[in-house]
Structure 1
Amino acid sequence: MRNLRRTHRRADTPLLHRITSVLLRYPDPPTLSLLDDVTAAIPAIGDPADRLRLTTFTDRLRSLTPTEAAQAYVATFDHTRRRCLYLTYYRHGDTRARGMALLALKHTYRQAGHEPPESELPDHLPLILEFAALAPEPGHRILLRCRAGLEMLRQALHEHTDPHAPLLDALCDRLPSPDRRQRETLRRLTAEGPPEEHVGLEHVGLEPFAPPEFLTGTGTAATIGDRR
């Protein structure tokens, strides 16, 4: 029997997504200015383990100077294939297929009334989490489809004893346990890393993010909703 904690989507999950969206961003002044709001929101998270994870991370972030926080973030997430916040990279690597997946992901955002910013790729985990907080159903589906990448990121962060690892624990524990296909994908990613260049639509993987009308050009985007 599956662990109910992993299969039940809790009412506070959008709030958890909103908080982790902030905490996984580059710690520039605008992000650091949100720490008081994050701290004020944490008590509304129902799971004591998640509250501890979030509080421990925010306390650590407050203990660093802005320069130290930025250096630690860059050391964790930049210039590494296994600790990457761009989730379609795990599935497609730097291939043409990834470009199509990014377009399809943008379409999913727009269908839900959420216009992704031009300044960031739509598969950036903090952006996906922001979207999931505003549009829980499509956001949840995206996270499910990216599960192998999330698990690889979590595994890599734990291997390096990185303070961000508990944030990935909190996110992954709100998702169903990985199925057989996702476990096989994770094993392949762990052994080989993200794929090299592939040619052909069989590698594009549009289905996880886009409905059929997107492929035919008949779909229309929903009106843009307010972003908070």
Structure 2
Amino acid sequence: MQKSLKCLSLLLAYPSTEIQNEIEALGTALEADGQLNGAALDALAPLMARYADADIWDLQESYVEMFDRSRTLSLNLFEHLHGESRERGSAMVDLLETYRSGGFDLETSELPDHLPVLLEYLSTRPVGEVRELLVDASHILGALHTRLTRRSSPYAGVFAALLSIAGVALEEATSPELVAEPDDDPNDLEALDAVWEEAEVTFGPDPNAGCPQVRDMLANMDTPPAAARSQLTGAGNA
């Protein structure tokens, strides 16, 4: 499961030429890990094909418009639970402390609840804990899958894969309340300014660190996960 979580984390990260150059290796690793059934692998195929064929600038532009200019498609999970309330900040601090107590150093400018970061952390955790958290967050993952499907986005396949690992059927992950929320307009400059202002908050020491390098990730996939005793409290219940 470690391999699959690392690969899915990279597929949800900001597109880079490094990820693009290694997209075939990521697909091979996902298949070899055996965590995804045929339907989940098929759901990922459009995104893998787009990575293989598209210009990197087009990939980056569509990623920013999809995830950075839309709160309803935000990859920061607590955005969907708490919005701008005080509870969001408290939940963020708790999650950051969970990372630290689990021996996971957040070396990125992304917020602790950023889904690619969370998946990277979960790749170091026991299988039972991983599935428990993904089940907890399944209503958010399901809503994001539905919204991305409505936009015909190939990124929907990543959320189908995560729900498959959690053992939650797509129809069971549907949250009518979240799905009914109107999609944001990516051309709403006032809303976009609010997103950028929020993005200035940093929790890691290196704003350019991002996710681990793809080749390092592939080289270390068979390294046993670190033994850490703390448990993530569950994004879905925060």
TM-score, with structure 2 as normaliser: 0.67
Percent identity of equivalent pairs: 29
2:192 aligned residue: none
Map 1:193-208; keep pairs closer than 5 Å: 208=233
1:162 aligned residue: 153
What runs of 5+ residues in structure 2 fail to find an aligned partner? Answer: 183-231
Q: Which moved more, 1:58-67 or 1:104-113?
A: 104-113
Distance 1:164 1:118 in 2: 22
Number of matched residues?
182
For the Cα contact (< 8 Å) 2:131–2:165, is it kept in 1? no
Of 111, 115, 121, 2:105 maps to 115
1:127 aligns with 2:152: no
Of 84, 96, 107, 2:86 maps to 96
2:229 aligned residue: none
Could you tell me how far 1:98 is from its partner in structure 2?
Answer: 0.4
SS of residue matched to 1:135: coil
Of 47, 56, 59, 1:69 maps to 59
Partner letter of residue 67 of structure 1?
A: W
Partner letter of residue 180 of structure 2?
A: A
What runs of 5+ residues in structure 1 fail to find an aligned partner? Answer: 1-12, 194-206, 211-228
Could you tell me how far 1:127 is from its partner in structure 2?
Answer: 0.9
Could you tell me how far 1:158 is from its partner in structure 2?
Answer: 0.9
CA RMSD of aligned residues (A): 2.7
Runs of 4+ in 1 over 6 A off after TM superposition: none
Of 125, 133, 142, 1:151 maps to 142
What whole-Å deviation, never above 9, does each CA across 1:111-150 have from its counterpart, x for those lacking one? 2221222411111111111111121344433323322211
Partner letter of residue 48 of structure 1?
A: G
Partner letter of residue 115 of structure 1?
A: D
2:162 aligned residue: 171
1:187 aligns with 2:176: yes
Instruction: Mark the CA change 1:172 to 1:110 in structure 2 (over 3 Å): closer, same or farther.
Output: same
Could you tell me how far 1:153 is from its partner in structure 2?
Answer: 0.8
For the Cα contact (< 8 Å) 2:132–2:166, is it kept in 1? no
Could you tell me how far 1:173 is from its partner in structure 2?
Answer: 2.0
Q: Which has the larger radius of gyration?
A: 1
1:26 aligns with 2:17: no
What whole-Å deviation, never above 9, does each CA across 1:20-56 have from its counterpart, x for those lacking one? 1111111023433442431331330432223333344
